[in-house]
Structures are given as structure tokens and as C-alpha cells.
Amino acid sequence: MSVTHPLGGSSYGWPDGEPYEDVPRGTLKSGKEAEIFLVERRFARSGPRLLALKRYRIRNPAKDELRDEGFSNATSFRRHAMYREGWNVGARDRRALAAGNKSRHGQELASALWPIAEWATLRRAWEAGVTVPYPVERTDDGLLMEYIGDEERAAPKLAQARLKTDELASAWAQLGDNLRAL
């Protein structure tokens, strides 16, 4: 079965190799392990695109370090063991991760692996035809992806969308299609 991605599959129309400038536009959402920022990428020829930059928080930051790095919420996500279960790491690294925040190596490893794991998952989902944001690029502390929304606000969560009966049936069918693609 061939799956066509709703946004055009791998030929999303991303302007590869074109010069650009990234302009921060503010914080979209603050969560337990990361914050999502709105970024306007201004391309030289093809015009601007809005992107979502997901940045993971620093583990065990020094005083004011999160604020200095642009994060609005200063909490750190510590209960991450259940999210790490699928990470393919060696025995030493597995022990360091299991120790939580007790070793510098474990902290640095967790900080590095979070964006790598999420990037890989987002790319696999996109390539499978799942309706996820287009993965633009991985950064040192997170990832850039397509922004879903408009200039005024991000697209609502499904629970906030207030769908009509026919829209709800369509959303249910799309959910089934996405689960099969995954």
C-alpha cells in the first residue's frame, strides 16, 4: 500500500540550500521537559515560513541558567525513566541513565539523547505518512519542525477543537489511518 502524506510526502517543498535568517517570535508552550518557541525562518527567495523550535531544558541548571538560555519555565523534568526504555545504549550508559541525576555523565547523556530520540521518531512517522509536523532539522538541544497554526495562534489540541459530528468522524478515520501507518 502506498501512503501519500497530506503535505506532499518527502517532497514537502522545503527550500534546500536557500539562504535564510531565523527570527525568534516568542514562546508557544512550556512543558515538563521542554519549551516550544515560534521561529520565523525568512528565506531569501521563497519567503518566510513559521517553525516550531522544541528546546529541551538543561538538566540540573545553575542559578538563572534556564532564564539566561531563554526558557520561561524554570522547572526540570526528572521522571523520565519510562520515556527512555526504547533508547539503544550500552551497559555503562544504561547504568548512568538509571542512576538519574546522580552522575554528570548520566545528566549529559540524557540531555543529548532526548532530542536524538524525538527527531528519529518524528522522521520515521513523517516518512510513514503519519500526519505529524514536517521535521526540518535537529539542533544541539532540540528540533525544528513545521509550525501548525497561523500568525494568531497555534492549532488547537483535539480536545479543544469543538468538532462537529462530521468533523469528528473524519478525525476518527484519520486517527485510524495514522495508527495503521505507524
pLDDT tens column, 107-157: 666 667 778 888 999 999 999 999 999 999 998 888 999 999 888 888 888
Distance set, CA 128 to CA 8, 137, 144, 173, 181 (Å): 12, 18, 19, 17, 6
Average pLDDT of the chain?
77
For the cut 80, the answer to whether the pLDDT of residue 94 exceeds it is: no
Give me the sheet containing 20-30, strands edge to edge.
20-30, 34-43, 47-56, 142-146, 135-139
Of 45, 36, 48, 37, the residue nearest 18 (C-alpha): 45
Secondary structure (3-state) at 47? strand
Rounded CA gap, 49 and 149, in Å? Answer: 11
pTM: 0.69
User: What percent of the chain shows pLDDT beyond 90?
Assistant: 35
Quick one: average pLDDT of 59-82? 57
- Contact indicator for 171, 179 with CB cutoff of 8 Å: no
**If you ran DSSP here, which 8-state letter would residue 155 be given?**
P
